């Protein structure tokens, strides 16, 4: 999207308009191999946004993010931290399912990046949770190691980023549950401290 159009969107567009535009995206090859674009869902004015990796098989089927096994675990983590799914916004680094659930390639991440940035510009969250290495590397630091960075808060352009493990990693490794729970307690405290009844 040219810079002028991009700025116009941020000034006048809505998330729903952006979703319609993104639904027509063919910037990378992923769209050829999936059923549709999984844009994201939740409160368009959420103070808290969660960013995962990319849709899996179930998400591709249903057209919604985090509805498979990892999504069910994310729902439980959110509920335990006192968040309703509808009061946050959930999306991914890439919007189309990579074949065979492989990691999105750098050129696919690059192609989808401006959609993610536009979403964040329109939602204007105070807090962003990066679920896993890819979201952390995309939004915080390309060199980031999730094992080192999780638990730390990184502030950029007025947004506080909270890197934590991806729920799918917890499904593979139970020992990650406690650190994720500590991260979500910190996220909850930061959210409460915003003072807004959002």
Packing angle, helices 3-12 and 106-123, rounded to 10: 30
Rg (Cα) of the chain, in Å, rounded? 16
Using CB under 6 A as the binding rule, whether residue 137 contacts ligand URA is answered as no
Q: Which stretch binds ligand URA (CB under 6 A): 8-16, 51-59, 104-112, 116-124?
A: 51-59
Contact 79, 55 (CB under 8 A): no
Shortest distance, position 192 Cβ to ligand URA, whole Å: 26
Supply φ then ψ for residue 48, to 5 degrees. Answer: -125, 125
| Member of 42, 52, 125, 163 binding ligand URA (CB under 6 A) | 52
Using CB under 6 A as the binding rule, whether residue 41 contacts ligand URA is answered as no
Q: Which stretch binds ligand URA (CB under 6 A): 19-27, 60-68, 103-111, 170-178?
A: 60-68
Shortest distance, position 67 Cβ to ligand URA, whole Å: 7
| Member of 42, 56, 98, 104 binding ligand URA (CB under 6 A) | 56
Q: In angstroms, rounded to a whole number, what is the distance separating the alpha carbons of residues 55 and 61?
A: 9
Shortest distance, position 70 Cβ to ligand URA, whole Å: 4
Residues 159-198 that bind ligand URA (CB under 6 A): 168
| Member of 22, 43, 92, 191 binding ligand URA (CB under 6 A) | 92
When the beta carbons of 53 and 108 are compared against ligand URA, the nearer one is 53
Using CB under 6 A as the binding rule, whether residue 104 contacts ligand URA is answered as no
Tell me which residues touch ligand URA (CB under 6 A).
Answer: 52-56, 59, 65-66, 68, 70-71, 92, 168
């Amino acid at each position: 999207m040219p810079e002028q159009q991009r700025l116009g969107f941020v000034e006048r567009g809505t998330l729903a308009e952006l979703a319609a535009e993104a639904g027509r995206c063919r910037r990378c090859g992923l769209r050829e191999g999936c059923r549709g674009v999984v844009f994201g869902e939740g409160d368009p004015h959420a103070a808290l946004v969660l960013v995962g990796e990319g849709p899996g098989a179930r998400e591709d089927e249903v057209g919604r993010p985090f509805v498979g096994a990892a999504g069910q675990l994310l729902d439980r983590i959110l509920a335990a931290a006192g968040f309703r799914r509808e009061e946050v916004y959930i999306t991914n680094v890439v919007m189309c399912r990579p074949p065979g659930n492989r990691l999105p390639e750098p050129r696919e991440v690059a192609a989808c990046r401006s959609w993610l940035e536009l979403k964040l510009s329109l939602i204007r969250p105070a807090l962003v949770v990066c679920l896993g290495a890819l979201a952390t590397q995309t939004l915080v630091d390309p060199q980031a190691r999730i094992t080192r960075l999780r638990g730390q808060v990184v502030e950029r352009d007025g947004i506080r980023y909270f890197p934590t493990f991806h729920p799918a990693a917890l499904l593979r490794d139970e020992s990650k549950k406690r650190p994720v729970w500590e991260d979500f307690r910190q996220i909850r405290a930061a959210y409460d401290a915003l003072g807004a009844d959002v």
